Amino acid sequence: MKYTPLKTDFYKHNRVQLISELETHSAAILTSHDEYPRSGDTTFPFRQNSELLYLTGIDQEETFLFLAPWHPNPNYREILFIKNPSPEMIVWFGHRLSKEEATAISGIEQVFYTEQFESVLQDVMVHSKQIYLHIPESSRMRNMHPIQEIRFAEKLKKEYPLHTYRRLAPILYPMRAVKHPEEIRALKKACEITEKAFGRALQAVSPLKYEYEIEAELIYEMIRNGSSGHSFAPIVASGKDTCILHYIKNDKQMQDGDLLLLDFGAEYANYAGDTTRTIPVNGKFTPRQKAVYNAVLAIYKETIPLYKPGMTIHKINDYVFKRMDEELIKLGLYTEEDLKNQNPDKPLFKQYYMHNTAHFIGLDVHDVGERDWTFEAGMVLSCEPGIYIAEEGIGVRIETDVVVADQPIDLFAGMPVEVEEIEALMKR
């Protein structure tokens, strides 16, 4: 693999912590993600289930984890199932983990091949009263597809209808939200690679090039530095499309005088970097572009220090929304009088700043965590204010990743962000 897995003790610690939260005489069972068809008989690159990865470090398809700490047979209290690395499979698909390698990564001594899964499942179910399962949970998105976790839950409920089933998410998500030092190191590495990719992009941007040419520069620098690629579909948006929040076509020719908004991040060890920078295509901000940019930058700089224990995303938003009104008035987009007379259900700033300022970051770029969760030391969140003036074709967003602490840590502190820095680097 391109990266070194996190230390085995990290995965052991996570399992011990999870088990301590389970009800007596229960078991937890987790599955890997599916391999998703792309076209014909090909699949998209495999991406492991973040929960399974968090507990085992096994980055391979067709993997299962059993945690049954009250099972009468000590050999069945912690079991990892992996696919059998047969010679035929290796010829077609390359190296797959041996039992010994899986133990070395995860710290799990009992490793079986998936051919034994059903017989062991029967034994574990008979000796368990409650079964904990994971299905992805988010207040912002419903599962609309029959993913493996849903299919597995349906299978168990059909075959073992008298068991009591419990949700793992309320236990796992708060655990995952607070990052261990091992995870912070992986996130720092992801951000370092992301920063290198931005440096390369700065040198490549010029009028009449296409957005996808800049996307190519980003991915080249990521891959050559050990990243598995983008942590999400990158936004490389120029001109009026800087005001499209999730623009990912990246197929337009960049014009002299336009801005270019780059929202992207490298993935390293399955941990996500996530940053945004907005730069002038010709290397020089116009006075109006500079005014909008510096308004966003002022809010950005003021907000990062707020990422301390005890805060919430809602509180961060409250501060940023108030500052948006002040900056948008300075930019002449509305007046103090307009603000006094606004419809409270349709705040004026929402015309120019439509999204939230923060989301959790970790194994997923939009990681587990809700907006009302109280920040704890070790959580990592984005800080991403922006101003989007569609009628002027000016969209500016600036984003970094922040580790919550008494003195918050900006993971992109060394990445160019000042107007003068960006212009000087592009001129060079």
Determine the Cα–Cα distance for residues 128 and 28; give it in Å rounded to an integer: 10
Sign of CA dihedral 45, 51, 53, 56: negative
Residue where a domain stops, chosen among 125, 150, 176: 176
Residue where a domain stops, chosen among 161, 176, 191: 176
**Rounded alpha-carbon distances, angstroms, from residue 8 to 14, 27, 55, 257:** 10, 22, 10, 52
Determine the Cα–Cα distance for residues 377 and 180; give it in Å rounded to an integer: 10
Instruction: Please indicate, yes or no, whether residues 160 and 210 belong to a single structural domain of this protein.
Output: no
Instruction: Please indicate, yes or no, whether residues 128 and 215 belong to a single structural domain of this protein.
Output: no
Q: Are strands 42-43 and 275-280 parallel, antiparallel or unpaired?
A: unpaired
Instruction: Please indicate, yes or no, whether residues 263 and 138 belong to a single structural domain of this protein.
Output: no
pLDDT surpassing 90 at residue 316: yes
Token code pair at residue 135: 């299905």
Does 1 reside within a domain? no
Q: Are strands 110-113 and 78-82 parallel, antiparallel or unpaired?
A: parallel
pLDDT band at 35 (very low <50, low <70, confident <90, very high): confident
Determine the Cα–Cα distance for residues 306 and 178; give it in Å rounded to an integer: 17
The boundaries of the domain holding residue 63 are 8-176
Does 3 reside within a domain? no
Mean pLDDT in residue range 164-178: 97
Among residues 386, 396, 389, 354, which one has the least CA distance to residue 261? 396
Instruction: Please indicate, yes or no, whether residues 25 and 151 belong to a single structural domain of this protein.
Output: yes
The amino acid present at 269, given as its one-letter code, is A
Token code pair at residue 263: 């929202």
Residues annotated as catalytic are: 41, 246, 263, 274, 355, 359, 366, 384, 388, 397, 399
Q: How many domains are contained in the chain?
A: 2
Does 220 reside within a domain? yes
**Residue 131's beta-bridge partner residues?**
27, 165
In this prediction the pTM is: 0.95
Instruction: Please indicate, yes or no, whether residues 267 and 399 belong to a single structural domain of this protein.
Output: yes
Sign of CA dihedral 391, 349, 364, 378: positive
* pLDDT at residue 205 in the model: 98
* pLDDT at residue 93 in the model: 79
Does 239 reside within a domain? yes
Mean pLDDT in residue range 138-146: 77
Determine the Cα–Cα distance for residues 396 and 286; give it in Å rounded to an integer: 13
Among residues 383, 376, 382, which one has the least CA distance to residue 404? 376
pLDDT surpassing 80 at residue 210: yes
Say which range, 76-90, 193-207, 216-230, 270-284, has the weakest mean pLDDT.
Answer: 76-90
Instruction: Please indicate, yes or no, whether residues 266 and 414 belong to a single structural domain of this protein.
Output: yes
Determine the Cα–Cα distance for residues 172 and 166; give it in Å rounded to an integer: 12
pLDDT surpassing 80 at residue 1: no
pLDDT band at 141 (very low <50, low <70, confident <90, very high): confident
pLDDT surpassing 90 at residue 180: yes
* CATH number of the structural domain spanning residue 142: 3.40.350.10
Q: What are phi and psi of 231, to 5 degrees?
A: -80, -10
* pLDDT at residue 2 in the model: 75
* pLDDT at residue 92 in the model: 81
* H or E element in which residue 28 lies: strand 26-31
Q: Which residues contact 87 (CB under 8 A, 6 or more apart)?
A: none
Instruction: Please indicate, yes or no, whether residues 27 and 115 belong to a single structural domain of this protein.
Output: yes
The distance in angstroms from the start CA to the end CA of the chain is 36
* CATH number of the structural domain spanning residue 356: 3.90.230.10
pLDDT band at 146 (very low <50, low <70, confident <90, very high): confident
Q: Is 422 helix (H, G, I), strand (E, B) or coil?
A: helix
Q: What are phi and psi of 336, to 5 degrees?
A: -60, -40
pLDDT band at 160 (very low <50, low <70, confident <90, very high): very high
Determine the Cα–Cα distance for residues 216 and 370; give it in Å rounded to an integer: 34
Determine the Cα–Cα distance for residues 328 and 248; give it in Å rounded to an integer: 27
Does 63 reside within a domain? yes
pLDDT surpassing 90 at residue 195: yes
pLDDT surpassing 70 at residue 188: yes
* pLDDT at residue 143 in the model: 73
Residue where a domain stops, chosen among 136, 157, 176: 176
Instruction: Please indicate, yes or no, whether residues 161 and 197 belong to a single structural domain of this protein.
Output: no
Say which range, 71-80, 83-92, 391-400, has the weakest mean pLDDT.
Answer: 83-92
58 CB neighbour count, 10 Å cutoff: 26
Instruction: Please indicate, yes or no, whether residues 125 and 221 belong to a single structural domain of this protein.
Output: no
Does 280 reside within a domain? yes
